[in-house]
Amino acid sequence: MTTEKAKKRFRITDEGPFEVLRILVSILIALAVTFVVLCFVIEGDSIPARLGNAGATFIKLLTYPCKNMFYFGYVLVKMVPLTFAGLATLLYFRTGLFNLSTEGVFYIAGVACTYFAVSEARLTGNPFIDSAICIVAAGLCGGIIALLPGYLKAKFQANEMVISLMMNSILFGIGFWMIKTFLAISGVTGTSSAPFVASARLTTIIPKTQVHSGIIIVLVMVVLVYILLFKTKLGYAIRITGLNQNFARYSGMGAFGLFMSVHFLAGFIGGMGSAVELLGVYQSFTWSQLPGLGFTGALMAMLGKNHPIGVTVAAFGISYLRASAQLLANSSPVIDIKLVSVVEVILTLLISSQYFLRSWREKQLLKEEQCNE
């Protein structure tokens, strides 16, 4: 049996390699379409001139963040919240839950983080402990809030997507009111909280960049989520339930406890992400609308095929393009963050479509079969 396994050849039509090929082709197509769009919007008198200009801009878009350490650091900074949100959402998706509450959790947990971060009286003065207090508080807040849709789902079979979307609006309303009423500087009208205490903020770990210690925290979380999913009993139950809930029930796995655990963990990770983003990048809480990071988390989970490593790679890739577009927006008249949306949309479409490249694979298999005869 083991010798048979050793004989197994590498074939591009096997499940794993084929999946990788599919993703690579998707990326190529998405970039090609972006190039075509660029050709249309770019300035130029003749067609060759337009092509030339578009080509130059396109290459800039793909290489700009590698120009210097500061720019590349900007990519890493942007990647941190996307990875957090992706990790939280992939836990839901793996369990078969289409829950999008990470968006609202990001907001309300940010408020919880701010509650501690703006007041020296609630902190110790030790930078390490203070950051930890804020992050854990935000995590607990996110976890507890996420239990609500979890309970409704587990107990009453309520549709988690509808509930989570409604909840996002409610959480935003409550959070915004709390910031304005309790956490702003007294006497000053505005939508910002008081500034964070210095000891709560995360320290920069690479000199001359914005890269903060949050990148280490998020990488640790990636490893922890990987271990949770593939090495623990809970992770096993998550995977099996997500793939076939009937089978999980038949096997004797209890759905109630599992749903509650998953919601708490996902909420906790989302909350942590929010605190890390605020303490790493912001001076004070300034989100006057939902930050959109939670929804992007769903995108990361999809692109990363619900795998923690995949999510990290997806977050890096999307952050790279977004950062590049933002950095170039000042100097180039045609590049805008919206251009990157083209890439994101096409990637999501291709990667989530089951039939993409399927007939090609079938033909390859057919050829192989006929060769064998």
The SS3 call for residue 195 is: strand
142 neighbors 108 (Cβ within 8 angstroms) = yes
Residue 307 found at the interface with another protein (CB under 8 A): no
| Adjacent-strand bridge partners of 284 | 195
Cα separation, 186 vs 263, in Å, equals 36
Our CB check for another protein shows the closer of 254 and 292 to be 254
Residue 244 found at the interface with another protein (CB under 8 A): yes
* Single residue of 216, 231, 345, 353 touching another protein by CB under 8 A: 231
Interactions with another protein, residue window 252-271 (CB under 8 A): 252-254
Q: Which two three-digit tokens encode residue 281?
A: 């990048």
Residue 240 found at the interface with another protein (CB under 8 A): yes
Our CB check for another protein shows the closer of 228 and 329 to be 228
Q: What are the distances in angstroms from CA 208 to CA 71, 198, 212, 273?
A: 10, 19, 11, 23
Window contacting another protein (CB under 8 A); options: 51-59, 143-151, 213-221, 354-362: 354-362
Nearest to 158 by CA among 174, 292, 167: 167
Residue 10 found at the interface with another protein (CB under 8 A): no
263 neighbors 164 (Cβ within 8 angstroms) = no
Minimum CB separation from another protein for residue 240, in Å? 5
Report long-range pairs for 253-258 (Cβ below 8 Å, ≥24 apart).
255/154, 256/154, 256/155, 258/95, 258/234
* Single residue of 4, 45, 121, 338 touching another protein by CB under 8 A: 4
Window contacting another protein (CB under 8 A); options: 74-82, 197-205, 237-245, 340-348: 237-245
Our CB check for another protein shows the closer of 54 and 238 to be 238
| Adjacent-strand bridge partners of 218 | none
* Single residue of 191, 232, 286, 288 touching another protein by CB under 8 A: 232
* Single residue of 128, 177, 182, 236 touching another protein by CB under 8 A: 236
Tell me how many degrees the CA angle 181-183-188 measures, rounded to the nearest 5. 70
Phi, psi of 257, deg, nearest 5: -60, -40
* Single residue of 239, 307, 316, 332 touching another protein by CB under 8 A: 239
Q: How many CB atoms lie within 10 A of CB 39?
A: 17
Window contacting another protein (CB under 8 A); options: 79-87, 109-117, 232-240, 340-348: 232-240
Q: What are the distances in angstroms from CA 233 to CA 10, 46, 230, 237, 249?
A: 31, 63, 9, 6, 15
276 neighbors 214 (Cβ within 8 angstroms) = yes
Our CB check for another protein shows the closer of 13 and 119 to be 13
Window contacting another protein (CB under 8 A); options: 71-79, 86-94, 211-219, 242-250: 242-250
Interactions with another protein, residue window 136-175 (CB under 8 A): none
Minimum CB separation from another protein for residue 29, in Å? 20
Residue 249 found at the interface with another protein (CB under 8 A): yes
- Binding residues for another protein, rule CB under 8 A, total 30
Q: How many CB atoms lie within 10 A of CB 210?
A: 14
Minimum CB separation from another protein for residue 50, in Å? 41
Window contacting another protein (CB under 8 A); options: 28-36, 244-252, 312-320, 323-331: 244-252
287 neighbors 178 (Cβ within 8 angstroms) = no
DSSP letter string, 3-25:
HHHHHPPP-TTSHHHHHHHHHHH
Window contacting another protein (CB under 8 A); options: 66-74, 144-152, 229-237, 277-285: 229-237
Residues near another protein (CB under 8 A) are: 1, 4-5, 8, 13, 15, 231-234, 236, 239-240, 243-244, 246-254, 358, 361-362, 365-366, 369
